[in-house]
Amino acid sequence: MPKLVCDQPTDVVDYYTLAGLPGDPQVDRLPTGPHGFEYELQGLPPGQYSLRCSACNQWTCSLPAPLDFTVPEAPLPPVGLFISFS
């Protein structure tokens, strides 16, 4: 699973908020790094997601930026595989 990455310049951003994750309705104060933030999405169960991310400074937060995506079901293992000598 990839990471969620924001590459907004961080010179005017103090922190980010992320909403829409299952079991974690809102992640406040994601730290900024040299290139915005990275949030690991590993372990999300299959389904449709609608995340919203805002960049915040000491006065206010931006309008949420949407990110809609689907995590597919894992493929089934192959069945009926036969090996023989010839």
pLDDT per residue as tens digits for the range 43-77: 888 889 898 888 888 899 889 989 898 888 888 78
Dihedral through CA 60, CA 33, CA 51, CA 70, nearest 10?
Answer: 170
- Cα separation, 36 vs 8, in Å, equals 6
Distance, CA of 54 to chain centre: 13
Structure tokens at 5: 């990455």
Nearest to 10 by CA among 38, 34, 39: 34
Q: Which of 30-34, 35-39, 49-53, 82-86 has the lowest mean pLDDT?
A: 30-34
> 0.75 exceeded by the pTM?
no
